[in-house]
Amino acid sequence: MIEVSAKELGVENCSFVARGITAGDVIEEMFDHLEKKHDFNMPDAETTLEMYMTDLEEYDLNNVTALNTELPLDEGVKLIVQRLKEKLNLSATPSDYRG
């Protein structure tokens, strides 16, 4: 079981912990929570996984847009995505992203 807390991603005063079998499960659960409870405009989980399943250098986080908007990710969301990538060690285990 993989677990990541919102506090580990820099969300203060939040005790939410996303849990899942795969990194994809955790990303989807965390992004859903951040959108619904904290009003963050997150990228969709599929895009986030695609970013890390291929060469990350091909992606410019400044050009990744939030779900349901044409706007690029704000700086706080970019930081959360980067911390989540590091916490899940996505670059090291590409075959484990989706189970």
Domains of the chain, residue spans: 2-92
The pLDDT, as a whole number, for residue 93 is 44
Q: Which is more confident, 47 or 37?
A: 37
pLDDT in tens, 64-79: 555 455 556 677 887 8
- For the stretch 68-93, what's the b/e string if a residue is b when 16 or more beta carbons lie within 10 angstroms of its beta carbon? eeeebbeeebeebbeebbebbebeee
Q: Which is more confident, 41 or 7?
A: 7
Q: What phi, psi does 98 have (nearest 5°)?
A: -120, 10
pTM: 0.72
